């Protein structure tokens, strides 16, 4: 299985309405890595040591981010990008990790751009 990232808009009644993500470089816009990346990349010891706050949660659960948590996802992505060699050392291809970091960054940016702070980002 693969991890998927989704962006939604929270409606007045609390429902989540899906927001379409644009593909980048011909890749699937919603793929956030392989299932084993929950622990080997996003929830790895390296990710935790670098101070990532939300992506490590993927080791044990799906990630749901709204409001200020979307900013934390962006910060996690930036940290991992800065230390890509360390992150990929666990056996992942650095280019593949960078591509998925770009996917997460684009999705977080879309969620953050939804008016009235109604954006919602899910990785599952």
pLDDT in tens, 49-67: 999 999 999 999 999 999 9
- Relative orientation angle of helices 94-113 and 68-82, to the nearest 10 degrees: 160
For the chain, the average pLDDT equals 94
What is the model's pTM? 0.94
Over range 96-114, report the average pLDDT.
96
Alpha helices in the chain (DSSP H): 37, 45-49, 68-82, 84-88, 94-113
pLDDT of 108 above 90: yes
Q: Average of pLDDT values for 63-82? A: 98
Tokens representing 12 are: 């007045």
What is the residue extent of each domain of the chain?
35-123
Q: In which element (H, E) is residue 10 found?
A: strand 2-10
- How far does Cα 70 stand from its chain's mean position? 9
At 13, list the tokens: 């009644």
Pair type for strands 2-10 and 16-19 = antiparallel
């Amino acid at each position: 299985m693969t991890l998927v990232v989704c962006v939604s808009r929270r409606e007045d009644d609390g429902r989540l309405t899906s927001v379409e993500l644009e593909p980048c470089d011909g890749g699937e816009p919603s793929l956030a890595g392989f299932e084993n990346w929950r622990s080997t990349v996003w929830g790895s010891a390296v990710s935790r040591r670098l101070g990532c706050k939300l992506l490590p949660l993927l080791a044990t659960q799906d990630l749901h981010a709204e409001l200020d948590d979307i900013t934390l996802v962006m910060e996690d992505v930036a940290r991992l990008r800065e230390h890509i060699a360390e992150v990929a050392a666990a056996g992942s291809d650095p280019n593949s990790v960078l591509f998925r970091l770009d996917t997460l960054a684009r999705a977080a940016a879309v969620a953050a751009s939804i008016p009235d702070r109604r954006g919602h980002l899910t990785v599952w």
